[in-house]
A and B are shown apart, each in its own frame.
Chain A
Amino acid sequence: MKIASPQALRGANASALTEQLVTFVVDGQAFGISALTVRDVLRRQPLTRIPLARAEIAGAINLRGHIVSAIDLRARLGMAPRPANCPAMCVVVEHAGESVCLIVDSVGDVISVDCAEIEPNPASLQPMWAQAAKGVHRARDHLLLLLDVGQLLTF
């Protein structure tokens, strides 16, 4: 899936006061991140382990000649380790001038959310998630947690 140029999206975003979200699922929980930050969505890539790096860092992948570090969201969000047979997808996001790959279980649709419909984090949200999330969107049959890429990549 290719995303239109960020400028075009930003323009549309500002006028309609909606936010485009790329949705994905990690360990049964649905998440969304701003489509503006997403550069690429890929199938599972061969990973090179980075020895002695922090646990969240799954390794590095070759993204069309660029070396991109991969963060395992299961580890980052304190969820159960990925079972061997569980599929994985890569969501490549842009952060601080660098590309970073987020490893998720599966990627869903790009949805448009009215900014007014995004609710603040519930007080009961566990701290690890509360830090990385910037709000909750209530989809028809499930809750979507909006992740903040900057926070997600700050260890």
Chain B
Amino acid sequence: MDDLIQEFVIESLENLAVLDQELVRFEQTPGDKEILSNIFRMMHTIKGTCGFLGLPRLEKIAHAGEDVLGKFRDGALAPTPASVTSILKCIDQIRALIESLSTQGTEGTGEDGPLIAELKAIIEDDRPAAPAAPTSVSAPAPAAGPVQAAGGFPVAAELLAELGETPAASAPQPVQDYPVAAELLAEIEQLTKPQAEAPAAQVPQAIAAKGEPAAGQAVREKAAVAQTIRVNVEVIENLMTLASEMVLTRNQLLQLMRTGGTAVFKEPIERLSRTTSELQEGVMKTRMQPIGNAWGKLPRIIRDLATELGKKINLVMKGEETDLDRQVLELIQDPLTHMVRNSADHGLERPDERAAAGKDEVGTIRLSAFHEGGHIIIEISDDGRGINTEKVRAKIVERGLATAEEAAAMDDSTVNQHIMRAGFSTADQVTKVSGRGVGMDVVRSNIEKIGGTLEFKSVFGEGSTFTIKIPLTLAIVSSLIVQAGEERFALPQIAVNEVVRISQRSAHQIEALRGAPILRLRNRLLPLVSLGDLLEVKDTQTSWRPGQNSFEGYVVVCRNGSHVMGVIVDSIAGVEEIVVKPLSKILGATKYFSGNTILGDGRVILILDLNGLASCLSQEKVRAEAAVEQASEDSGNSESILLFRVQGEGMKAVSLSQVQRIENFDMATAESVQGDRIIQYRERLLPLYSLDGAGGIRRTGRQQVLVFGEGAAAVGLAIEAIADIVKDQLKIQRSSQLPGLVGSGIVGGKAVDIVDPAYFLGLGALNQSSDYGAAA
């Protein structure tokens, strides 16, 4: 009996999941008889099996649900959103009971009366309106009384239902109205037959009623199901582990072959290698499941949300059959659900808003999945209101994440990244569904945890699209093998953006800001982590040390969420497919490693955890930022000197301590006042000057501007490009006659012109119009 119940639990839970989806589909296309008969059949099977297994509570509920579905099927009752909601509630209750059955072994105790009454009410309410009803009720009329009076007697209720159903089904009217499939009719006949044969024998009747259609169903499904078997997940996991071990051993053998194996082994090893690959692929396939399994719940969720929010939502799903690893599937289920809820709640507008915006009242949420080069891409898009980037910018400023100028200068995609930050919500109102700002950051971190990425695009007024990119499997990861000193580490390749070679002759050099290493890469300052330092690698003659100029090695540029960082390594040993194994428990908490593996040469290697590395980076970053601030306060001989270029020849230099800020202005917004170029900056007018005359101040595009002085006294010096920040002594070797320059000196081994900020501050203070620019 236990086995039977277990089988029933598994089967029913699967059936219920399908029921959910089918019901939502049915509500959308009420005329589809095939869907309805499918739904009816599943509910019927559950009811019948419950009766057979002696589960009275379940049977009663399933029965009440089946009654309503029967009416739908016969056309005696038109489905309404309210009645479908009741049926869904009924399914939820059945699911809850079955879950309790599987965990506790019993149905548990509880009151199902209200639910059953609700379902019965649907039939009662609609009965007068239903065309076929009057004729059908006449025959079983005497039985109607006892049922209503004693709702607690399942058998009597069932009898009534079966009786009530029979005439309705065989009545000519519904058959004409809805062309009922021959199959359906046959099934109804099967249902009614035993009743006619044994009207008094109640128990056998229940079994017969259950048995026959179930058998019919079995025959129908056999063709599709015969080729599958149920296998315990543990068995598959174990197989997977073994196959992975085999891959490792194979790699080891291949390595041995390469380093001088005997020729006789060559052929068998190659064959073994091929077979192993195939075996591993095969085992991987057994773990693969269509992504549709993770989507199964969504139609129901969307339906409920639509009802709750008063929106009209059409959920379109594409690529349900796309396979991915079971483990990955489980991990993305919750994030996916959250994102779809988000789209429904925040993304889509209410029907009236949509109509006002000239859109179809029915909003569409589109889910699609497809494979792309070892990854699976899932897109969730809606045609709703999109993200109002101005609103987000305002929020960014309000929350102090950036200044108004910085926010204004951000491009839209950078702005949109902020919606994925913790506690960031642009929802005006917190609803029951979402808007608390604890969503997208969790979603993103969950996706990143499995080595995936999340991107967001939005067009205001037209909709938003989330794109999730996740690896097909977590078991095998392509990794970059990096080396620090004599030690090697694996760095998952999905996180690696690029590798930059560092040598004395290369264009890129590691610089240090108060001990914190920095790499300037395409106009971006990249915080770096020295792997050798961080992991206390011994024998690191070649590894980078602060203050070392002759370093030769590589910087691996990695992306971790929205952060980009560089990892300094000595060398790159290659790329290898690795099988991730968890770290031994005895090692305790290891911040910087996510696992370990065995390489082709048999050595154990640790896998770096980018989250861990990034966490140490934030400290480094703080150090670097502190360094810049401290540098300006330094009273020693050497100070931080900003080197920059203007249109004219030669490098210009200014002491960093005299520069308040370096801004990047949109020069199209600059205006002319009394002949001076000015720009609105922090609610004041900032006069702009240049060392190249008026021509040095651009009229369009963006330009870097050094801001000298504070508040009302501030002035801006437009420059072409920042060249470097160096530590040196700012000594004037030759004085200058030119306005704006104090003289020339040597900084970092090069001759530079030293700029005099006081001159420009003076120009600003005197409000001298025009003429520095024209004169110079």
A interface footprint on B584-621 (CB within 8 Å = 1, 0 otherwise): 11111011110011100011111000000000000000
Query: Is A55 close to B, CB under 8 A?
Result: no
In contact, B584 and A60 (Cβ under 8 angstroms): yes
In contact, B587 and A53 (Cβ under 8 angstroms): yes
B interface footprint on A12-34 (CB within 8 Å = 1, 0 otherwise): 00000000000000000000000
Residues of B within 8 A of A51 (CB): 487, 535-537, 592, 606
Query: Is A153 close to B, CB under 8 A?
Result: yes
Query: Is A109 close to B, CB under 8 A?
Result: no
A67 partner, pick from B487, B535, B584, B588, beta carbons under 8 A:
B584
A153–B588 alpha-carbon span in the complex (Å): 12
In contact, A153 and B586 (Cβ under 8 angstroms): yes
Known: A50-B606, A51-B535, A51-B592. A65 touches B248 (CB 8 A): yes
In contact, B603 and A46 (Cβ under 8 angstroms): yes
A57–B535 alpha-carbon span in the complex (Å): 15
In contact, A65 and B249 (Cβ under 8 angstroms): yes
Residues of A within 8 A of B596 (CB): 48, 60, 67
Q: How far is the CB of A30 from chain B (nearest CB, A)?
A: 25
* Closest residue of A by beta carbon distance from B487: A49
Known: A52-B590, A98-B585, A100-B586. A62 touches B603 (CB 8 A): yes
Q: How far is the CB of B301 from chain A (nearest CB, A)?
A: 40
Query: Is B92 close to A, CB under 8 A?
Result: no
A52–B587 alpha-carbon span in the complex (Å): 10
Tell me how many residues of A have a C-beta within 8 Å of chain B: 23
Greatest chain A CB density within 10 A among B585, B588, B591, B597 is at B585
A53–B606 alpha-carbon span in the complex (Å): 12
Residues of B within 8 A of A142 (CB): none
A61–B248 alpha-carbon span in the complex (Å): 15
Query: Is A96 close to B, CB under 8 A?
Result: yes
In contact, A50 and B537 (Cβ under 8 angstroms): no
A51–B602 alpha-carbon span in the complex (Å): 19
Residues of A within 8 A of B597 (CB): 67
A67–B597 alpha-carbon span in the complex (Å): 7
Query: Is B245 close to A, CB under 8 A?
Result: yes
B604 partner, pick from A52, A57, A67, A100, beta carbons under 8 A:
A67
In contact, B598 and A65 (Cβ under 8 angstroms): yes
In contact, B598 and A62 (Cβ under 8 angstroms): yes
* Closest residue of B by beta carbon distance from A48: B604
A69–B592 alpha-carbon span in the complex (Å): 17
Query: Is B341 close to A, CB under 8 A?
Result: no
B586 partner, pick from A46, A57, A59, A65, beta carbons under 8 A:
A57
Known: A48-B605, A61-B604. A54 touches B598 (CB 8 A): no
Residues of B within 8 A of A50 (CB): 587, 590, 593, 606
In contact, A98 and B604 (Cβ under 8 angstroms): no
A62–B535 alpha-carbon span in the complex (Å): 21
Query: Is B375 close to A, CB under 8 A?
Result: no
Query: Is A110 close to B, CB under 8 A?
Result: no
Residues of A within 8 A of B605 (CB): 48
In contact, A62 and B537 (Cβ under 8 angstroms): no
Residues of B within 8 A of A (CB): 245, 248-249, 487, 535-537, 581, 584-588, 590-593, 596-598, 602-606
Q: A52-B590, A62-B603, A153-B586 are in contact. List 10 more A-B contacts (CB 8 A).
A: A46-B603, A50-B587, A52-B535, A65-B248, A65-B249, A67-B598, A96-B585, A98-B586, A100-B584, A155-B588
Residues of A within 8 A of B (CB): 46, 48-54, 57, 59-62, 65, 67-69, 71, 96, 98, 100, 153, 155
Q: List 17 A-B contacts (CB under 8 A).
A: A48-B596, A50-B587, A50-B606, A51-B536, A51-B537, A51-B606, A53-B588, A57-B586, A60-B596, A62-B598, A62-B602, A65-B245, A65-B249, A69-B584, A69-B586, A98-B586, A100-B584
